Amino acid sequence: MGSDGTILLAGGGTGGHLYPGISVAAALKSIWPEVRPLFLVTEREIDEVILQPTGFEFIKQSIVPPVKSISGLLAFWKSWRETKDLVRGVLNERDVKAVLGLGGYAAGVAVKLAAQKGIPAAVVNPDVIPGKANQYLMKYARAVCCQFEETRAHVSAANQPKLKMTGCPIRPEMETLPARNDAARRLGLNPDRMTLVITGASLGAQTVNEAVLATLPKLKAEGKMEGWQVLHLAGRDHGQVVKAAYIQNGIGATVVDFTPEMADVWAVADMAISRSGASSCAELTACGVPSILMPYPYHKDMHQRANARVLEAGGAALILDDEKDAKKNSAKLEPMLGLLCDAPRRQQMADAAKKLGKPDAAEQVAKVIRGMVG
Q: What is the pLDDT of residues 165-201, one digit of tens each?
A: 999 999 888 988 999 999 999 999 999 999 999 998 6
State the pLDDT at residue 257.
Answer: 86
Closest CA to 198 of 211, 188, 189: 211
Looking at the structure, give the CATH architecture of the domain made up of residues 5-170+359-373.
3-Layer(aba) Sandwich (3.40)
Closest CA to 130 of 156, 105, 164, 154: 154
Tell me the C-alpha distance between 190 and 181, whole Å: 8
CB 58 within 8 A of CB 47: yes
Listed in sequence order, the residues at least 6 apart from 294 whose beta carbon sits closer than 8 Å to its beta carbon are: 205, 207, 208, 211, 273, 274, 275, 276, 320, 321, 322, 329
Q: What are the distances in angstroms from CA 243 to CA 193, 211, 232, 256, 261? A: 20, 14, 9, 8, 20
Tell me the C-alpha distance between 182 and 109, whole Å: 43
Tell me the C-alpha distance between 99 and 91, whole Å: 10
Tell me the C-alpha distance between 159 and 327, whole Å: 44
Q: Is 224 exposed, middle or buried (0-12, 13-18, 19+ CB in 10 A)?
A: middle
The string over 174-197, giving b where at least 16 C-beta atoms fall within 10 Å of a residue's C-beta and e elsewhere, is: bbebbebeebbeebebebeebbbb
**Cα 2 → chain centroid:** 32
Beta strands in the chain (DSSP E): 5-10, 36-41, 57-60, 95-101, 121-125, 143-146, 163-164, 194-199, 228-233, 254-256, 269-274, 291-293, 317-319
Q: How confident is the model at residue 16 (pLDDT cuts 50, 70, 90)?
A: confident
Q: Tell me the β-bridge partners of 58.
A: 39
pTM for the full predicted model: 0.89
Tell me the C-alpha distance between 290 and 48, whole Å: 31
Tell me the C-alpha distance between 322 and 133, whole Å: 25
What element of type H or E holds 248? Answer: helix 239-248
pLDDT, one tens digit per residue, over 235-260 is: 877 888 899 989 888 888 999 988 88
**Cα 357 → chain centroid:** 14
1-10, 44-53, 148-157, 165-174: which has the minimum mean pLDDT? Answer: 1-10
Query: Please, where in the chain does CATH 3.40.50.2000 lie?
Result: 5-170+359-373, 174-356
State the pLDDT at residue 1.
Answer: 39
**Cα 175 → chain centroid:** 15
State the pLDDT at residue 2.
Answer: 42
Closest CA to 362 of 37, 54, 130, 30: 30
Other C-beta atoms within 10 Å of 366: how many?
26
Tell me the C-alpha distance between 2 and 154, whole Å: 38
State the pLDDT at residue 196.
Answer: 97
Q: To the nearest whole number, what is the mean pLDDT of the chain?
A: 93
For the chain, percent helix, then strand, then coil, each to nearest 5?
A: 50, 15, 35
Tell me the C-alpha distance between 25 and 365, whole Å: 10
User: In the chain, what's the furthest Cα-to-Cα distance?
Assistant: 65
Report the percent of the chain where pLDDT is more than 70.
98
Per-range mean pLDDT, top range of 17-26, 273-282, 344-353: 344-353
CATH class in words for 174-356: alpha beta
Per-range mean pLDDT, top range of 63-67, 267-271, 275-279, 295-299: 267-271
